[in-house]
């Protein structure tokens, strides 16, 4: 087994890296945080005796300490579990002369301006966009493209920090957020793009050397940034093999992966885009990591592969468990994150009556909440299976009717 420096701030109690990786005690040098190992100190001691705990995980000092640990232990590979570590892992590989995704590839998958420039140069349709180095760039973009405008962090994830601007009052509100923003209002940090009105999709899978190994598309219930704004649910349904959009989106994902600088070792990927009225897909963004919310679990239920686990194992030198494209999901499947409301949670008194449904509460009765705080925020999660994708959609609609009628917030 190769020696691997693993950057991970994922809680060991929730993401069991020791079960995902082989011979961890002998091959992994884990760089993590004290918070990530709380309640799992025995796991850390048994499976990751070579570890480095850093308090300020994203600091320059932590990155320097990671390099020193890599050199001390003579590692062969650098791996990461979070999107925020993709670029720093690539820079470490280059500095140490190690194989894997390089900085050019990592930057294309992290910086949405770089990503969309490369996609556009390859003939892939993208919304009108511009880098924002100051407020006048935003005003110039609005003058040129009109409202509505989407403003987002160039290296963001999970729709964090995204603002949809419809009026100049919204512009003022966005600028007033500067004092409390986690993303600094500085050159290189923000971008603007035209708002796209169309059905929203995702494609998830494994890629290697600029090609898809395997993947499958799904259709979102709506936009992710809109979920927080509208305080509503978010979900997805896997597309059927005979749905015309399945082939369109699979070709689209292959084109996007081919357009961006390739990584030699397999990586999970998550792509989002729209299909316009003319049937041509438009790129929203892509990332070299497994999809969030319930996407990875839905993929596992359909194809037997947990994408986050598969992608991490591949970074660490293990072979792929699935190395070909399946013809179809094992079953028609959909999922939804059910939103927290305002007040004290009173869960439904009876189980969900919708056939093929599996609802798991995520909040205890009596929990007080003040609505949806981020894209993955939920009071409960649900999966629905059926014989066809269309039947899944109908059952999800019935499940939502049941939830909104029976879950109370007092």
DSSP letter string over 277-322?
TTS-EEEEEEESS--TTTHHHHHHHHHS--HHHHHHHHHTTPPPS-
In the block, tokens 């919708």 appear at 354
Does residue 39 fall inside a structural domain? yes
pLDDT for position 222: 83
C-alpha distances (whole Å) from 294 to each of 94, 147, 262, 335, 376 are 33, 32, 27, 7, 9
At which of 177, 194, 211 does a domain end?
Answer: 194
Same-domain status, 14 and 34? yes
* pLDDT tens series, the chain, 410 aa: 899 999 999 999 888 899 999 877 789 999 999 999 999 999 999 999 999 999 999 999 999 999 999 999 999 999 999 999 999 999 999 999 999 999 999 999 999 999 999 999 999 999 999 999 999 999 999 999 999 999 999 998 777 889 999 999 999 999 999 999 989 999 999 999 999 999 999 999 999 999 999 999 999 998 777 777 888 899 999 999 999 999 999 999 999 999 999 999 999 999 999 998 899 999 999 999 999 999 999 999 999 999 999 999 999 999 999 999 999 999 999 999 999 999 999 999 999 999 999 999 999 999 999 998 888 899 999 999 999 999 999 999 999 999 999 999 99
* 273 touches 281 (CB < 8 A): yes
Same-domain status, 201 and 187? no
At which of 162, 194, 226 does a domain end?
Answer: 194
pLDDT for position 227: 79
Same-domain status, 211 and 235? yes
Q: Which two tokens stand for residue 387?
A: 């014989």
H helices present in 111-156, as ranges: 112-121, 135-145
- Here the CATH number for the domain that contains residue 276 is 3.30.470.20
Does residue 88 fall inside a structural domain? yes
In the block, tokens 């290697």 appear at 208
Does residue 181 fall inside a structural domain? yes
Same-domain status, 297 and 382? no
Does residue 321 fall inside a structural domain? no
* 54 touches 62 (CB < 8 A): yes
Characterize the bridge pairing of strands 28-32 and 4-7. parallel
Same-domain status, 261 and 302? yes
- Here the CATH number for the domain that contains residue 181 is 3.30.1490.20
Does residue 371 fall inside a structural domain? yes
Task: Report how far residue 31's alpha carbon sits from residue 144's, in angstroms, rounded to the nearest whole number.
Answer: 46
Can you give the pTM of this predicted structure?
A: 0.95
pLDDT for position 320: 96
C-alpha distances (whole Å) from 107 to each of 60, 84, 102, 187 are 18, 11, 9, 16
pLDDT tens, 254-279?
A: 999 999 999 999 999 999 999 988 99
Mutual angle of helices 60-73 and 86-96, in 10-degree steps? 40
pLDDT for position 165: 96
pLDDT for position 373: 87
At which of 161, 194, 227 does a domain end?
Answer: 194
Peptide bond into 372 cis (omega under 30): no
Same-domain status, 246 and 273? yes
Same-domain status, 389 and 368? yes
Task: Report how far residue 280's alpha carbon sits from residue 274's, in angstroms, rounded to the nearest whole number.
Answer: 8
Does residue 337 fall inside a structural domain? yes
Same-domain status, 181 and 221? no
Same-domain status, 187 and 225? no
Report how many domains make up the chain.
4
Same-domain status, 178 and 209? no
112-147 in b/e form (b: 16+ CB < 10 A) is: bbbbbebbeeeebbbbebbbbeeeebbeebbeebee
Same-domain status, 175 and 271? no
* 82 touches 238 (CB < 8 A): no
pLDDT for position 353: 97
Task: Report how far residue 97's alpha carbon sits from residue 91's, in angstroms, rounded to the nearest whole number.
Answer: 10
pLDDT for position 226: 79
Does residue 178 fall inside a structural domain? yes
Q: Which domain holds residue 210?
A: 197-315
Same-domain status, 146 and 166? yes
- Here the CATH number for the domain that contains residue 8 is 3.40.50.20
pLDDT for position 157: 78
Does residue 116 fall inside a structural domain? no
């Amino acid at each position: 087994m190769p020696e691997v420096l693993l950057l991970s701030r994922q809680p060991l109690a929730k993401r069991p890296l020791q079960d995902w990786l082989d011979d961890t005690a002998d091959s992994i040098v884990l760089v993590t945080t004290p918070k990530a190992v709380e309640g799992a100190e025995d796991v850390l001691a048994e499976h990751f005796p070579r570890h480095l705990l850093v308090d300020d995980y994203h600091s320059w000092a932590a990155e320097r300490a990671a390099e020193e640990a890599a050199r001390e232990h003579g590692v062969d590979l650098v791996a990461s579990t979070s999107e925020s570590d993709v670029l720093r892992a690539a820079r470490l590989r280059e500095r140490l002369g190690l194989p894997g995704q390089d900085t050019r590839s990592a930057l294309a998958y992290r910086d949405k301006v770089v990503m969309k420039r490369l996609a556009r140069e390859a003939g892939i349709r993208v919304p009108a966009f511009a880098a924002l180095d100051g407020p006048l760039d935003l005003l110039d973009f609005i003058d040129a493209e009109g409202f509505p405008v989407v403003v987002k962090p160039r290296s963001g994830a999970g729709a964090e920090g995204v603002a949809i601007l419809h009026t100049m009052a919204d512009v003022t509100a966005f600028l007033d957020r500067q004092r409390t923003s986690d993303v600094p209002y500085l050159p290189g940090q923000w971008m603007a793009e035209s708002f796209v009105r169309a059905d929203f999709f995702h494609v998830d899978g494994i890629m290697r050397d600029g090609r898809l190994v395997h993947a499958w598309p799904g259709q979102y219930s709506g936009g992710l940034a809109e979920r927080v704004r509208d305080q509503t649910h978010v979900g997805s349904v896997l597309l059927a093999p005979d749905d015309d959009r399945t082939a369109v989106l699979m070709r689209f994902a292959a084109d996007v992966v081919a357009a961006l600088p390739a990584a030699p070792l397999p990586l999970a990927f998550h792509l989002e885009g729209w299909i316009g009225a003319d049937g041509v897909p438009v790129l929203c963004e892509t990332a070299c990591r497994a999809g969030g919310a319930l996407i990875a679990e839905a993929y596992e239920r359909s194809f037997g592969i947990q994408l986050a686990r598969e992608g991490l194992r591949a970074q660490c030198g293990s072979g792929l468990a699935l190395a070909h494209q399946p013809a179809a999901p094992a079953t028609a499947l959909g999922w939804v994150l059910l939103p927290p409301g305002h007040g004290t949670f009173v869960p439904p008194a009876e189980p969900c009556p919708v056939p093929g449904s599996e609802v798991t509460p995520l909040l205890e009765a009596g929990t007080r909440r003040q609505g949806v705080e981020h894209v993955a925020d939920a009071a409960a999660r649900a999966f629905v299976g059926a014989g066809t994708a269309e039947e899944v959609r109908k059952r999800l609609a019935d499940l939502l009717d049941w939830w909104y009628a029976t879950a109370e917030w007092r």
